Amino acid sequence: MYRFDLHSHSSCSDGTLTPTELVKRAIGLNLAALALTDHDSLNGISEGFTATELSLNSEKKFNFISGVEISTIWNGLEIHMVGLNFSRHPLLDELLQQQAQKRIDRAKQIAHKLEVYGFQNVLAGTQKYAKGDITRAHFAQFLVEDCGVTSIDKAFKKFLSKGKKAYVTPNWVSLAEAVLVINSIGGISVLAHPLEYDLGYQKLDGLISYFKQVGGDAIEVARSNLSTKQQQKLRDFSHKYDLLQSVGSDFHRPSSWHNLGKNLNIIELDKPITNHPNWDLNKLW
Ligand code: AMP
Ligand code: MN
Ligand code: MN
Ligand code: MN
């Protein structure tokens, strides 16, 4: 699975590049395939396919892959599930409409908490940074650019992370239901960035085991920030639970330590997601 990146964000959620800019960047980096996986949103997918058609010349082979990163709940924790390589379907549209409404309701509650804390005009101030669906990353940007908080990291640590002053417990779809929807529309369900939940290996084992039980297809074993050892550990989990292996940078914005495709070819994949029967680069959107 050479030079694939199956997890990335555009300005339709909390990334900074448009889908067109992302596709051009991926082609410029000689990636063979890129999946756009915005948070709970498919709004960038059509543009990604169009940009791919317009950018390709006869020598370059590049595939754009439909995707979405769904925010879910498992055992009271926020777990992200990436769905890949599906065609548009009313079942997924309906789920994402519900998620979008939950995002709006949560944003109002976060804004209220920040206003009680003393900041002003929070919802409108944050919305001006969100070109697509509103995320906590946009609240962080508002706090830094308009309220004098010194960094995005501080904005999360002080206000937006779980248990902090402006955290609102979300009521996202359950992990099992999100898997069911992605599988039933012919997509591939992937547990996103398993090491980002700070679970420790024992609890993580429980999560991955559960994910397999409810029909999950694959786990991400490579992400730009992971060491070889961490990637090997995740590959071990894929063996233990007979899951396929996906790779994704989780790219949000260009910086000196983030790029599409970065660090995704460190370990050899022996059960790549491309082995899935639903993997099909000619699917129509
Ligand atoms: P949401 O899906 O609205 O809860 O927003 C979560 C998004 O905020 C994640 O996808 C990340 O892009 C970003 N995020 C979460 N935690 C942090 C953090 N500690 N520092 C920077 N960005 C973060
Ligand atoms: Mn994000
Ligand atoms: Mn995520
Ligand atoms: Mn992501």
**pLDDT tens, residue by residue, 54-79:** 998 766 789 999 999 999 999 999 99
* Residue 257, pLDDT score: 85
* Residue 2, pLDDT score: 63
Query: Using a 6 Å cutoff on CB, does residue 152 contact ligand 1?
Result: yes
Query: Using a 6 Å cutoff on CB, does residue 252 contact ligand 1?
Result: yes
Report how far residue 194's alpha carbon sits from residue 16's, in angstroms, rounded to the nearest whole number.
24
Whether 218 contacts 179, CB under 8 Å: no
Ligand 1: nearest atom to the Cα of 106? 3
DSSP β-ladder status, 173-174 and 188-191: unpaired
Nearest residue (CA) to ligand 1, atom 17? 156
Report how far residue 110's alpha carbon sits from residue 169's, in angstroms, rounded to the nearest whole number.
10
Question: Separation of 37 CA from ligand 3 center, angstroms?
Answer: 9
Note the pLDDT tens digit of each residue in 144-156.
999 999 999 999 9
Report how far residue 85's alpha carbon sits from residue 236's, in angstroms, rounded to the nearest whole number.
25
Of the ligands numbered here, which is closest to the C-alpha atom of 193?
A: 3
Question: Separation of 123 CA from ligand 3 center, angstroms?
Answer: 23
**DSSP code for 194:** G
Ligand 1: nearest atom to the Cα of 40? 2
Hey, which residues does 35 pair with through a beta bridge?
Answer: 65
With a cut of 60, say whether residue 270 has pLDDT above it. Answer: yes
Question: Separation of 71 CA from ligand 4 center, angstroms?
Answer: 10
Cα 6 to Cα 32, 84, 169, 212, 243, distances in angstroms: 11, 8, 28, 20, 16
Ligand 1: nearest atom to the Cα of 160? 16
Report how far residue 146's alpha carbon sits from residue 45's, in angstroms, rounded to the nearest whole number.
31
Report how far residue 135's alpha carbon sits from residue 258's, in angstroms, rounded to the nearest whole number.
20
Nearest residue (CA) to ligand 1, atom 12? 137
Query: Using a 6 Å cutoff on CB, does residue 270 contact ligand 1?
Result: no
Closest CA to 166 of 132, 102, 118, 98: 118
Question: Separation of 9 CA from ligand 4 center, angstroms?
Answer: 6
Nearest residue (CA) to ligand 1, atom 4? 136
Q: Considering the chain, what is the average pLDDT of its residues?
A: 96
Closest CA to 246 of 194, 207, 206: 194
Report how far residue 202's alpha carbon sits from residue 30's, in angstroms, rounded to the nearest whole number.
38
* Residue 57, pLDDT score: 73
Query: Using a 6 Å cutoff on CB, does residue 23 contact ligand 1?
Result: no
What is the average pLDDT across 248-277?
A: 96
Query: Using a 6 Å cutoff on CB, does residue 14 contact ligand 1?
Result: yes
pTM: 0.97
Note the pLDDT tens digit of each residue in 87-136.
999 999 999 999 999 999 999 999 999 999 999 999 999 999 998 899 99
